[in-house]
């Protein structure tokens, strides 16, 4: 599978400029596109999640807030204004720095967490040819990059110079590391069935045969174990133990 970087380099190779500048351009452009796609994905995912949660809880905001003050009503696009309202709220929040905190680590740790998520998407093919870089050890790369966020979590908890923050960071890191074991074992099953660590080969194998979830009873069970482990690793309900303030303070 041809990567986006190779395609851009071949498309602009006729331009008479320095090779290093061409390579930088071929790397920066896919990175920006990937970042924009991730931002849109997060925005839409949060919208649909809050839409379902608001329907269950009978909340008006995520269900009916429209754009420019117009009421969307209980339609498909009703509540889309809540996305922009929450975005403005988050962007205008005050950046509070504790007096005794390690300021450098506190500023760097969120970037480490985001970098781990961004770097993971580099090796994921979204369609034929729509991949930043097709690694021959793509599965190992994704597992490695998804583990980078743990470093940022620990640094964030330690840099605040607050024992409760450190306890929460340790619990979150322990949960992430614990659920990475079943995730890795389930991915190992896919590698054994496919016979390759390259993501494009795994995708092509499913295109030529069938999805792994329907391949055998073992892969069917592995899919649900993988899904539960991924939900737990992201600290989503009901695996939001690191965010349970009452349990954290109570020890």
pLDDT tens readout for residues 89-102: 888 888 788 888 88
pLDDT tens readout for residues 161-182: 888 888 888 888 888 888 888 8
Work out the percent of the chain whose per-residue pLDDT is above 90: 0
Q: Could you tell me the maximum CA-CA distance found in the chain, to the nearest angstrom?
A: 66
Nearest to 82 by CA among 118, 53, 121, 122: 53
* 123-145 mean pLDDT: 80
Work out the percent of the chain whose per-residue pLDDT is above 70: 76
Residue extents of the structural domains in the chain: 1-93, 98-251
Threshold 0.75, pTM exceeds: no
Start-to-end C-alpha separation, the chain: 51
168 in Cβ contact with 157 (< 8 Å): yes
Rounded to whole angstroms, what are the CA distances from 23 to 32, 119, 120, 128? 15, 18, 21, 22
What pLDDT band is residue 64 in, cutting at 50, 70 and 90? Answer: low
66 in Cβ contact with 81 (< 8 Å): yes
Rounded (10°) angle between helices 148-159 and 103-120: 160
105 in Cβ contact with 119 (< 8 Å): no
74 pLDDT exceeds 70?
Answer: no
């Amino acid at each position: 599978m041809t990567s986006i970087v190779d395609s851009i380099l071949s498309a602009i190779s006729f331009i008479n400029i320095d090779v290093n500048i061409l390579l930088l351009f071929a790397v920066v452009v896919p990175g920006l596109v990937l970042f924009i796609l991730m931002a849109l994905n997060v925005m839409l995912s949060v919208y649909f999640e809050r839409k379902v949660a608001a329907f269950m809880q009978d909340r008006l905001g995520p269900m009916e807030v429209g754009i420019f003050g117009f009421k969307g009503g209980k339609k498909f696009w009703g509540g889309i204004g809540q996305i922009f309202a929450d975005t403005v709220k988050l962007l205008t929040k005050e950046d509070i720095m504790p007096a005794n905190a390690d300021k450098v680590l506190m500023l760097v740790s969120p970037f480490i967490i985001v970098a781990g998520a961004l770097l993971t998407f580099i090796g994921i093919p979204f369609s034929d040819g729509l991949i930043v870089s097709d690694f021959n050890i793509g599965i190992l790369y994704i597992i490695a990059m998804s583990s980078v966020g743990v470093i940022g979590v620990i640094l964030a908890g330690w840099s605040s110079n607050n024992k409760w923050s450190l306890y929460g960071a340790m619990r979150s890191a322990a949960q992430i590391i614990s659920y990475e074991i079943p995730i890795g074992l389930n991915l190992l099953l896919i590698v054994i069935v496919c016979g390759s660590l390259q993501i494009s080969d795994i995708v092509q194998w499913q295109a030529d045969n069938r999805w792994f979830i329907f391949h055998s009873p073992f892969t069917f069970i592995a899919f649900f174990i993988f899904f539960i482990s991924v939900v737990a690793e992201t600290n989503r309900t009901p695996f939001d133990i690191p965010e349970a303030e009452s349990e954290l303070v109570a020890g």
